[in-house]
């Protein structure tokens, strides 16, 4: 299943890059704006995976790396976003 998705992402690389750039960039910014700016640990935990994903996009890395980095980044962002939304 994952190999089929990666092959499809590799074929439609530029469309997926635009989607990932929009989702990861905006979600990371929203999460920082929700309250992570006040905590050094939260800021580091959000910024490092987000910048790693964006750097992989810029470096034209293999889509498997980009997909894994974006899944991790979105997961961490959603975790912190939900925490700051309920706090």
**Is residue 41 in some structural domain?**
yes
Six token digits for residue 68: 């894994």
**Is residue 8 in some structural domain?**
no
pLDDT of residue 9: 84
Share of the chain above pLDDT 90, in %: 64
Main-chain dihedrals φ then ψ at residue 60, nearest 5 degrees: 55, 50
**Is residue 65 in some structural domain?**
yes
- Report how many domains make up the chain: 1
Q: What is the pTM of this model?
A: 0.86
9 versus 47: the higher-pLDDT residue is 47
Express each pLDDT in 29-45 by its tens digit: 999 998 888 889 989 99
Cα 41 to Cα 2, 36, 48, 55, distances in angstroms = 32, 8, 11, 21
Q: Can you give the residue range of the structural domain that contains 32?
A: 13-86
Quick check: 66 and 29 in contact, CB under 8 A? no
**Is residue 81 in some structural domain?**
yes
């Amino acid at each position: 299943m994952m190999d089929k998705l990666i092959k499809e992402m590799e074929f439609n690389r530029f469309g997926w890059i635009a989607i990932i750039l929009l989702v990861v960039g905006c979600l990371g910014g929203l999460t920082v704006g929700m309250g992570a700016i006040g905590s050094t640990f939260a800021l580091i935990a959000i910024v490092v995976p987000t910048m790693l994903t964006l750097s992989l996009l810029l470096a034209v890395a293999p889509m498997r790396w980009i997909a894994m980095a974006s899944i991790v980044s979105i997961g961490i962002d959603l975790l912190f976003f939900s925490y700051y939304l309920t706090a």
